[in-house]
Structure formats: structure tokens, C-alpha cells
């Protein structure tokens, strides 16, 4: 368990650092207020987690520990959006498929946005 936590921590550190660098670079390179840097990181993270989650020791890929570091660690630090999309794809493979995965996406986006607004409202009520 400690080994897994350390692997995820190292991957997270590298992923989070790269997220900041790539996002800032893209945002500085492209003028405007649209958050293109974040969008680039999110899409790139989805592409990478698609690759990393498909690697298995069965097909000559990587060990479960390395896959954990790359998916939960690196991609999780790089962007949680990639994990969100990977979980959506996993739900699609399940017995309930499209309905459950669609509910997961809708509920996550709606509740996440409501929570963000609630947090902002809470802080503003004290100012």
C-alpha cells in the first residue's frame, strides 16, 4: 500500500507540474480569455489515460504498479478530467452502459457546478 501511495505521489507531482507548464505556455502563446490552456491539458490528458489504461502486462505493456503511477498518479495530477472520462468509458462497458454513464456525466457536471457556486456564495457571504 505504501509503495502504491508513493508511486501515485510521484506521478501526481510530475503530472501537476506539467499541467501548470503546458497550460501556462499555451495560454501565453494564444491571446484571449478563452481557457485554451486548460482545454489542451484536458484533451491531452484524456488521450494519455486512454493509452496508459490500455497498457497491461498481458500484452507486453507495463506492470499494474507502473499503470497505477501513470493513470492515477500522472494523469490524475495532470488533469482529473482524464480520470473522469476514463471512468465514463469503464461504465459504458458495464451492464447498464449508456444510461449509467450518462447519469454519471450529467450528475458530476451539474453537482460540481452547483458546489462551485455554493462555495463562492459561502465566501461572498462573509465579505
SS3 of 5-63: the string is: HHHHHHHHHHHHHHHHHHHHHHHHHCCCCCCHHHHHHHHHHHHHHHHHHHCCHHHCCCC
The pTM is what?
A: 0.76
Calpha distance 125→94 (Å, rounded): 43
Q: 46 with 85: CB under 8 angstroms?
A: yes
105-123 pLDDT per residue, tens: 999 899 989 988 998 898 8
85 within domain boundaries: no
pLDDT given at position 57 = 73
- Domain of 101? 94-127
Residue 66 and residue 16 share a domain: yes
**Of all helices (H) and strands (E), which one includes residue 85?**
helix 80-93
Q: Mean of the pLDDT values across residues 39-64?
A: 85
Please tell me whether residues 64 and 16 are part of one structural domain.
yes
How many structural domains does the chain have?
Answer: 2
- Residue 17: inside a domain, yes or no? yes
Asked if 15 and 61 sit in the same domain, the reply is yes
What is the pLDDT, as a whole number, of residue 60?
66
Query: Domain for residue 9, yes or no?
Result: yes
Query: Do 25 and 68 sit in the same domain of this protein?
Result: yes
Over residues 27-50, mean pLDDT:
87
Residue 29 predicted with pLDDT over 70: yes
Instruction: Indicate the SS3 state at residue 79.
Output: coil
Asked if 71 and 112 sit in the same domain, the reply is no
Query: Is 27 a residue whose pLDDT tops 90?
Result: no
Q: What is the mean pLDDT of the chain?
A: 88
User: Is 79 marked as binding a ligand?
Assistant: yes
- Per-residue model confidence as pLDDT tens digits over 59-95: 667 899 999 999 999 999 998 788 788 888 888 887 7
What per-residue confidence (pLDDT) applies to 100? 86
> Is 72 annotated as ligand-binding?
no
- The answer on 63 and 102 residing in a single domain is no
Residues 101 and 43 in one domain: no
Amino acid at each position: 500500500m505504501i509503495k502504491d501511495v508513493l508511486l501515485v505521489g510521484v506521478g501526481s507531482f510530475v503530472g501537476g507540474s506539467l499541467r501548470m507548464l503546458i497550460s501556462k505556455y499555451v495560454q501565453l502563446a494564444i491571446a484571449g480569455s478563452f481557457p485554451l490552456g486548460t482545454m489542451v491539458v484536458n484533451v491531452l490528458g484524456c488521450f494519455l489515460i486512454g493509452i496508459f489504461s490500455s497498457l497491461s502486462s498481458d500484452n507486453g505493456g507495463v506492470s499494474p504498479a507502473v499503470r497505477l503511477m501513470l493513470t492515477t498518479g500522472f494523469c490524475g495530477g495532470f488533469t482529473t478530467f482524464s480520470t473522469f472520462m476514463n471512468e465514463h468509458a469503464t461504465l459504458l462497458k458495464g451492464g447498464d452502459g449508456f444510461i449509467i454513464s450518462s447519469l454519471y456525466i450529467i450528475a458530476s457536471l451539474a453537482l460540481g457546478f452547483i458546489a462551485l457556486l455554493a462555495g463562492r456564495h459561502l465566501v461572498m457571504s462573509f465579505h
